Amino acid sequence: MGLDAPSEEDMYKCVHCGFCLQACPTYLETGLETESPRGRIALMKAVNEGRIGITPSVTRHWDLCIQCRACEVACPSGVPYGKLIESTMSQVNSRREKSWTTKIVSNIILKRIIPHRNRLLLIIKFLRLYQLTGIQKVLRNSGLLNLLSPYLSELEKSAPQVPATILETSGQTIRAIGVKRSRVALLSGCIMPLVNGPEMEAVIRVLTRNGCDVIVTQNQVCCGAINSHMGDLQTTRKLAKRNIDAFLNSDVDAVIVASAGCGIRMKEYGDLLRNDTAYASKAQTLSSLVKDIHEFLAELPIIPPKGHLNYQVTYQDSCHLSHAQRITEPPRMLLRSIPGIKLIEMDNPSKCCGAGGTYTITERDFSLRLLDSKIKDIDKTQASIVATANPGCVIQLQYGIKINCHNRTVKYVTDLLDESYSSESTV
């Protein structure tokens, strides 16, 4: 019902052929029709036709969907599954009785913390203090957290280490090195500038080294990807409008996004705001300016780095880059452009690692099952570095490697480019 009702036209494009089943990580894990795209669409149709209601047992199957969109790529009928599950979750979100974890995530973290940089900064500073002062060590060694809640204790262990460097978003411009080829704005994101400050600075260095003036646009906010994942499209629209106002004032050739999940959210602002008379056209304009960093560098084209890196690297496709944005070759091409890097493909590189939005928090057990299977595929490559393109995947893979005691590191593709550029002077 309402503005965000799943489109009947999209829903009935599904002809139940089942080609998508083998692409779906939750189906592969369970073997159950109800945990497959076809099964989930059948449930949407059944609700739409009034044969069943939106009951907890029905919503359970939609909740277990990671929203990885692998089924979209496999579907010969062009079913826009991502759009369908997003709008289905918005219907569920407004009706159901929420568990305490979902309430904390959707009502507090996503609405009251993430959209407000100062509040988020406060929490991140607290987390850094907790990690640096030894409180974390004491809590872990005492087993107190585990006693209180094994779930929280396990979740705490997967939290990323907060660095000292924070990327400022004050509208600063970082000038191109050498001949100027482009002027771009950078989406800093909500959590990335705080927990991935050094990696965001690496992104800026790679862009400037490739002749781009980079503006870290002021007044930008979270892209809204996590809110839409949870079915809160109202908050997503508010955030989208604030970003449109911020970025369209920047007068740039492109808006660069270094996080796959944020990239697809912004590329789909046009569709999100299609019924908004004041913003529909502006949303289309912003969406058309958005470029994933790998896509952008490949098209520019990149100035090949010369610094030699003697690494064996395997690449994990982030779902929202490979399935949603259909970008698979550019990151691999960029990795191959680095002298000395040997790219070893893992089995199933585009199978989800289990990170997916808030999935690691709300569906912890399932998320860890998928992570386990991913770590086994990575292990077979014996690569020392796992490269990827999305902060959620980085955190998830780092955790998988940590609990399996593997001697590997997880890096963004842009980290490796930056490292190669930085070592050029020594070549």
Name the site residues for ligand SF4 (rule: CB under 6 A).
14-20, 23-26, 37-38, 40-41, 65-71, 74-75, 77, 79, 81
Q: Closest Cα to residue 305, out of 427, 212, 182, 183?
A: 427
If the CB atoms of residues 17 and 132 are measured against ligand SF4, the closer one turns out to be 17
The tokens describing 265, both together, are 């959210």
Q: How far is the CB of 361 from ligand SF4 (least distance, A)?
A: 17
The tokens describing 149, both together, are 């809640």
Extended beta strands in 74-158, E state: none
Phi, psi angle pair for 230, to nearest 5°: -85, -5
If the CB atoms of residues 84 and 298 are measured against ligand SF4, the closer one turns out to be 84
If the CB atoms of residues 341 and 368 are measured against ligand SF4, the closer one turns out to be 368
Helices (H), 339-403: 359-362, 364-381, 391-403
If the CB atoms of residues 69 and 291 are measured against ligand SF4, the closer one turns out to be 69
Q: How far is the CB of 39 from ligand SF4 (least distance, A)?
A: 8
Helices (H), 223-351: 225-229, 233-247, 260-267, 269-272, 280-289, 293-299, 319-322, 329-336
If the CB atoms of residues 22 and 172 are measured against ligand SF4, the closer one turns out to be 22
Q: Cβ contacts of residue 199 below 8 Å, gap of 6+? A: 192, 258, 412, 414, 415
Q: How far apart are CA 74 and CA 292, in angstroms?
A: 22
If the CB atoms of residues 54 and 73 are measured against ligand SF4, the closer one turns out to be 73
Q: How far apart are CA 316 and CA 318, in angstroms?
A: 6
Q: How far is the CB of 395 from ligand SF4 (least distance, A)?
A: 19
The tokens describing 263, both together, are 């990239």
Residue 364, number of CB atoms within 10 A of its CB: 16
Q: How far is the CB of 73 from ligand SF4 (least distance, A)?
A: 9
If the CB atoms of residues 217 and 367 are measured against ligand SF4, the closer one turns out to be 367
Q: How far is the CB of 319 from ligand SF4 (least distance, A)?
A: 7
Phi, psi angle pair for 149, to nearest 5°: -160, 110
Q: How far is the CB of 91 from ligand SF4 (least distance, A)?
A: 16
Amino acid in position 236? T
Q: How far is the CB of 36 from ligand SF4 (least distance, A)?
A: 6
What distance separates the 2 farthest-apart alpha carbons in the chain? 69
Q: How far is the CB of 103 from ligand SF4 (least distance, A)?
A: 23
According to DSSP, the β-strands at 385-388 and 312-315 are parallel
The tokens describing 264, both together, are 């697809």
If the CB atoms of residues 352 and 383 are measured against ligand SF4, the closer one turns out to be 352
Q: How far is the CB of 71 from ligand SF4 (least distance, A)?
A: 3
Phi, psi angle pair for 42, to nearest 5°: -60, -40
If the CB atoms of residues 188 and 367 are measured against ligand SF4, the closer one turns out to be 367
